[in-house]
Structure 1
């Protein structure tokens, strides 16, 4: 399927689904699953959203580049989280 058509069909999905989920192990473009792997979730896990933001945008708060975790005072944020500013910029890039 051409990428232009694929993009239109996936437009209603969260753009974080373009990266694998580090929490539940869902593959790219597949929905996140519950812990018991019996139910698909409507929204991606926060870790997946953070991973997507890291791979999509630079962080204006801590001045790190793509694929580099955000930090606060030289220490990485808990569980690979990103600053809200980085997530907002990633959302703007995806739109």
Structure 2
């Protein structure tokens, strides 16, 4: 951001901007550290290194890369009740 534009922002917006930049730099530093030490670059590893919350780290997914974020859809069927399809080949009839 241009310094002149930055100085025109109200105080609250300046603070929010600075905080976002600080968070971004912390995540980038953690990614660099993990890569230098041949560790997997995952959201949880970044959370552990930075002390930021998982929600905060996930907001910066463009830095981490989607391939390193947990894909919750692959666990979707694990907790869903298992429903068996109806057997339409059976010739048995229900008597009433």
- Taking structure 2 as the reference length, what is the TM-score of the superposition? 0.24
Work out which of the two has the higher radius of gyration on C-alpha atoms and give 1 or 2. 2
Structure with bigger strand share is 1
More helix by share: 2
TM-score by structure 1 length?
0.24
